[in-house]
Amino acid sequence: MDTSLFRRALASRRLGVAIVIVISCFQTHRSQGQLINCDQVNVKKLAAPVVPGYFPLLSGDPAILRDGNLYRLFYTSPNLKRLQGAIGEAVSSDLMNWTPVDAGSDAVGKELVLLGQVGQWNEQLETAFAIKHANTYYLYYCGYPRVGWPINPGQIGVATSTDGINFQHRLGKPVLSATPNNYDANGLYSPVVIRYENKFLMIYAGHCYASNRVTPGIYLLSAASGNGLSWTKNPSPVLSPDPTVDWLQNGVAEPALCPGPDGNFYLFFTANLGDDQKRCIAVGRSRSPLGPYTIASRPVLSGTPGWFDEQGVLAPHVIIEQDKLRMWYLTSRLNESPEKHSIGYAEMPWPLAAFDEVFP
């Protein structure tokens, strides 16, 4: 039931085959191709992946931090020296052309700003999100031990930095861990953090596969913190599976929370989580980041047949600019060997036409 396709690649025995092909790819810092219309109304995509790092075909889970006139893109990328997931970073002034940073990391690919800790609960890293507050960068991530697929449970950790590149793990333990027999009993993934009412507010994906207390499923959950290090979970989900809607019945995952210019909060998330379904991205709207959310009656982004994202789009990051919505997302193209995962980019008009019709 775990939804991260990128996590499958990191855990796969075929990773070594993928590495050989990826290493043969040249490193480029520029977005490839032009924005063109795809098979979805009013949606334009780059016809090729955004390639910010040393391993463009094994990069995913994008999250962008605006830092003055600079944008920092954090993403999941492999550390081949240890065969583990790590966090990379690239920077841009225009959100289209990305240059990997040089973190001087002890890994293949110097753009890796955070590595897992060998033999610890966070040896494998993924799905990072950065926020800057009071001149400190907080980099939240999902961590788990060095084990095979499936990986349960993921836990959420944090690293901090004063320059946005040199990060250090904090606390020596997770900031959030699984609660037995509850909504996140089998793992916590994909943290997103904002400042709200003078506190840190986190939305994350909680996995529950079996429970006699709550209905099993994949939920979007929340927690609050006064200092970004010590967190308290909220008891009720922000968003739950909907058994009456085909693309919501198997759960909701990988959130992206975006304040809108209209005073609403927009919660983008991965949908279509069934084993035989192609992942898509949906959205809800609320006056509060904690909901309740009104869900648009159709997904806002799906894969395009014959494209690099044809087998699914997931794990979005969203920026709203006046009359335009910009989205970065993890893509999947599984009909080739080895598995490919990369970062895609799409634009669509704002306000979203998907909200012309909503569920009652």
pLDDT tens digits for 74-125?
Answer: 999 988 888 889 999 999 999 999 999 998 876 667 899 999 999 899 999 9
pTM score over 0.85: yes
User: Do 219 and 240 touch, CB atoms closer than 8 A?
Assistant: yes
What does the alpha-carbon distance between residue 134 and residue 130 come to, in Å, rounded to a whole number? Answer: 13
The yes/no answer on whether domain 5-356 falls in CATH 3.40.50.720 is no
How many CB atoms sit inside 10 A of residue 163's CB? Answer: 8
* Structure confidence at residue 142 (pLDDT): 97
Report the chain's terminal Cα–Cα distance, integer Å: 28
Per-position DSSP letters for 44-83, written without gaps between them = EEESS-B--SS-TTB-EEEEEEEETTEEEEEEEEEETTTT
* Structure confidence at residue 2 (pLDDT): 41
Q: What is the pLDDT of residues 20-46, one digit of tens each?
A: 333 333 344 444 568 888 878 789 999
One-letter amino acid for residue 69 of the chain: N
Give me Rg for the CA atoms of the chain: 19
DSSP 138: E
SS3 16: helix
* Structure confidence at residue 334 (pLDDT): 55
SS3 202: strand
pLDDT averaged per 10 residues in sequence order, the chain, 360 residues: 47 38 39 75 88 68 97 92 89 93 78 93 96 98 77 88 97 96 96 98 96 96 98 98 94 97 96 94 97 94 90 96 94 57 92 71
